[in-house]
Structure 1
Amino acid sequence: MANPQKEQGYTAVANEILEEVAIRKFSSTQHKILLVIWRYTYGFHRKSHAFSISFVQSKTGLSKDASKRGIKSLIDKNVITVVKEASFNGSRELMFNKDYETWKIVSDAPENVEEMEQNTSNNSLGADSSTGGGIAPPTGSAPAPPTGGGSAPQLKKEKESKERVVVDARKETPFSFFEQNFHILNGHIQDKIGNWCDDLTEEVVMEAMKITSENGVRKFSYTESILREWFNHSLTDIEKVRAHELHKKEAKPNARHGNNPQRDMGKGRTGQEQFVPEFVGRYKRA
């Protein structure tokens, strides 16, 4: 059973911000990205942080395209701002804009109390007219509408979609693999992993990490040396990467046991250096 405690860490977000976000028309994608941005900025007592697309994708379960569109829409709506553009050495640095009066997100809240009362009054009038002046309709006069707000195929499709999102959220990512097999993920390594995922793919980065772990190494610099080799050979597909590594493994025994006349010169059948007496050389010269 999960038992989270505030003592284990928490993210301090002002109540005023939470209330404002609740009444704005944010999409579910935008909500997810906002939570991640709060978690890795306010959650670490900082105002901004570098966020790669792959990192946001791994923390939200969204697709790569959805993550890109979500971040872009929040920037366009002035909900998050770009502190520093992405470079070869780092991801784009983002900051949450707490001045909600500058957001370009429509609010669902009524403008004043009179509007709320008018809406309530209209709803009650509509209810009275539908029942014929308050008289309840006879029971059993019509079949009850289907519950659940949709047909069975539609409900099945929605259920499958929700299950797919849960599976995607639990899917192993380069970030989670690093924390489980290397050490605690810090911001510097997070940026590097994110950049490599953007340049190659998550699968390729994971493969390099697995090779690093299998060789008993726990340094990301070792992983980067593998990734650079693949990048220089334009190996951006996981199948090409695996074929490349298999070819290297098959080539190693040949290189180790192959014939080298220059190397084997002066060696006997056992491969050991043979002692040649000095007088043999004098005899040959004579």
Structure 2
Amino acid sequence: MENYTQIPNYVLDFLARTKLSPTQYRIALVVCRFTFGFHRKKAKLSLSFLSKATGCTERLIQREVTELVEMGIFLEGLEGRTRTLEFNIDHMSEVYDPYPQNTHGSDITLSKQTGTPRPNGQVPTLSKQTTKKESNKENIKENKRYIDLIQIEDTFFKVYNDRFKEKFGKDHSKVTEDQMADIQLRIDHLKSFEVTEEEFIKATKEHFETLPKGNDGKIFAFLQASARYFEIPYFEFS
């Protein structure tokens, strides 16, 4: 039979007993469709794609995806300049027994502090110290791979690198995968508020013209100050 998605039972059981917002369930369904539906572990899913697939705003998608990652349900990665999402299978199988003793049919809540009861009565704790998100950061530290901004096919990156080169006579330095993930999220944040290329060019021009002496001009500080340049809400991704 064609045109169907095989979803592992433990994923369905886990999601059925996990209290999520309606938007989070929509996102989970899209991730199922584009991972299990194509027989792959992870999928490239940008904010704009998830927004179109769910009918929700990019701002709402960003907030809910961040929450799902913090809860340990998703693992986040980066391929090129696009974010990838996958289910945190190890965490799901670790904290959830689909038919725990004496809790069959009960309403179980999974939060940042509370896991799902196990047959032995113990309740695993889900915290920032035990999530795969933190584990991923440690793995990147152990095996860093650097990315050249000038190789990223995005107008905003090109504009910033051109301004940087005008100021310092060289291309912007390479960044780690972890830094690139944060940069891409911040760029997506700007685009979700419909910041145009012209506005971005004007802001980078002002940024470099008023750059304090001794400032290295790297993109991180500029993006952190983006709320001031573009008059949009500041959002902390990390």
Q: Same fold (TM over 0.5)?
A: no
Instruction: Please give the range of the TM-score, normalised by the shorter of the 2 chains.
Output: 0.3 to 0.5
When normalised by structure 2's length, the TM-score is 0.42
